[in-house]
Amino acid sequence: MTTTNRDTKTILPGATLGVLGSGQLGRMFAIAAARMGYRVHVFSPDAESPAGQVAQFETVADYHDSDAIAKFAKSVDVVTLEFENVPALATETASQFAPVRPSGQVLYNTQDRLREKRFLQSIGIPCTPFAPVSTLEELQDAVETVGAPAVLKTTAWGYDGKGQAKFDTPDQAADAWKQLQQQPAVCEGWVDYECEFSMLVARSTLGEVVSYGPILNHHENHILDFSIYPAPELSKYQTEANEISRAIVEKLEVVGIICVEFFLTTDGRILVNEIAPRPHNSGHLTIEACPTSQFEQQVRAICGLPLGSSEPLVPAAMVNLLGHLWQPNEPNWVAAISDPSVRLHLYGKAEARQGRKMGHITVLADSEAEASRKALDARDVLS
């Protein structure tokens, strides 16, 4: 790829950073950017959004509105992403007027599960066994290829367990695909794993790379429940996970930050599960735990600034706060933060729904076990 002046020009504080998407990731990005002296302009179809509440500028329009995207991109110095389901038209239009980081090509490879798996396979990255499914015949072939049990995942628009259906025997595969309304899918062989962990990897306009992790993750109902960093039990996999993550960002020519999610199998192998071309829920604890949070790192990377330190200062744990905690009454915030080590983050979402991420709690402590216990205890007293 030929490097142009626009690709390497440093974007200094005082500039305006554009964000496609306006959820909680955009909110925390905007807070980090403002602290560094940048203005933030968010674009999404949603009014009164988490990011829109704290950004200096907000455009509420459809991602397919090319005129609105063009006007937005002309008003900013660089555009970044806060979620991966941005239509390609939006990034293509924006890139005509401002650099988009990560690029539309990164988005193209990561927002479709089949393309993502094939990309990983093409560069020799170990991932879960998979086969494409778009017809009943392909489904039958896929089951023969990957076996059962297995998981069907829609190729697009899936996150937090959405667009997934597990089947245990081959004769259940057709019903699982019906659950997904027979959308194009990837059939993934079931992996016996000990745990899931993530690596956050930032790459700057000049190719500097900094990684966080491994961050140990625990899920409930396919939604991240809590994360721990550092995770001493994963330290022996750090070098390999770093090498894999770095290979991914360099092959994709990422500028920005991505999350690589891994399985640690019961026989001691690490396999890539998914890639998210943006900050990640598991990295929220870096706000308190690291000298440079994942959000400040995103700012640094897309602006061509030197990347910051990702080393954890002390052990940290983060727990998600989902919508059910608001039922039947408002959570008891006073009780939760009575422990001075508890840091509360709420996202400003108006409606609390089952499974919806409304905020998180982070705790720093002398040990990973103490941080986890205090974080879980703080969440327990909310209700």
CATH (domain of 162): 3.30.1490.20
> What share of the chain in percent tops pLDDT 70?
97
Question: In the prediction, which pLDDT does 3 show?
Answer: 38
Residue 253 sits in a domain whose CATH number is 3.30.470.20
Give the Cα separation of 186 and 143 in Å (integer): 11
Is 351 inside a domain boundary? yes
Is 210 inside a domain boundary? yes
Is 116 inside a domain boundary? no
- Angular region, 32: left φ>0, alpha ψ -120 to 50, beta rest: alpha
Task: Verify that 208 and 346 share a domain, yes or no.
Answer: yes
342-346 and 209-220 beta bridge pairing:
unpaired
Nearest to 54 by CA among 370, 289, 361, 345: 345
Q: SS3 helix, strand, coil % of the chain, rounded to 5?
A: 35, 30, 40
DSSP 221-282: TTEEEEEEES-GGGGGGHHHHHHHHHHHHHHHT--EEEEEEEEEETTS-EEEEEEESS--GG
Please state the rounded mean pLDDT for residues 4-32.
91
Task: Verify that 62 and 181 share a domain, yes or no.
Answer: no
Task: Verify that 250 and 369 share a domain, yes or no.
Answer: yes
Strand partners, 320: 360
What's the structural domain count of the chain?
3
Nearest to 363 by CA among 309, 311, 285: 285
Question: In the prediction, which pLDDT does 8 show?
Answer: 73
Task: Verify that 274 and 318 share a domain, yes or no.
Answer: yes
Task: Verify that 33 and 179 share a domain, yes or no.
Answer: no
Task: Verify that 160 and 197 share a domain, yes or no.
Answer: no
Of the residues 158, 189, 220, which one is the last residue of a structural domain?
189
Task: Verify that 211 and 253 share a domain, yes or no.
Answer: yes
Task: Verify that 151 and 198 share a domain, yes or no.
Answer: no
Nearest to 100 by CA among 222, 30, 241, 205: 205
Task: Verify that 226 and 161 share a domain, yes or no.
Answer: no
pLDDT over 60 (residue 4): no
pLDDT one-digit tens code per residue, 70-90: 999 999 999 999 988 899 899
Residue 30 sits in a domain whose CATH number is 3.40.50.20
Is 114 inside a domain boundary? no
Is 115 inside a domain boundary? no
Please state the rounded mean pLDDT for residues 284-292.
98
Task: Verify that 244 and 374 share a domain, yes or no.
Answer: yes
Cα-Cα-Cα-Cα dihedral sign, residues 323, 53, 68, 300: negative
Task: Verify that 258 and 292 share a domain, yes or no.
Answer: yes
Is 230 inside a domain boundary? yes
- The whole-angstrom distance between residue 127's C-alpha and the CA centroid of its chain comes to 18
- Structural domain harbouring 137: 129-189
Give the Cα separation of 72 and 93 in Å (integer): 10
Is 110 inside a domain boundary? no
Give the Cα separation of 239 and 103 in Å (integer): 27
Of the residues 140, 168, 189, which one is the last residue of a structural domain?
189
Of the residues 153, 169, 189, which one is the last residue of a structural domain?
189
CB 49 within 8 A of CB 25: no
Please state the rounded mean pLDDT for residues 222-226.
94
Is 142 inside a domain boundary? yes
Please state the rounded mean pLDDT for residues 108-122.
94
Predicted TM-score of the model (pTM): 0.94
Task: Verify that 226 and 320 share a domain, yes or no.
Answer: yes
Residues in Cβ contact with 70 at an 8 Å cutoff, skipping those fewer than 6 apart: 93, 94, 96, 97
DSSP 295-352: HHHHHHHHHTPPP-----SS-EEEEEEEGGGGSSS---HHHHTTSTTEEEEE---S--
Question: In the prediction, which pLDDT does 222 show?
Answer: 87
pLDDT over 80 (residue 261): yes
pLDDT one-digit tens code per residue, 293-352: 999 999 999 999 999 999 999 999 999 999 999 999 999 999 999 999 999 999 999 899
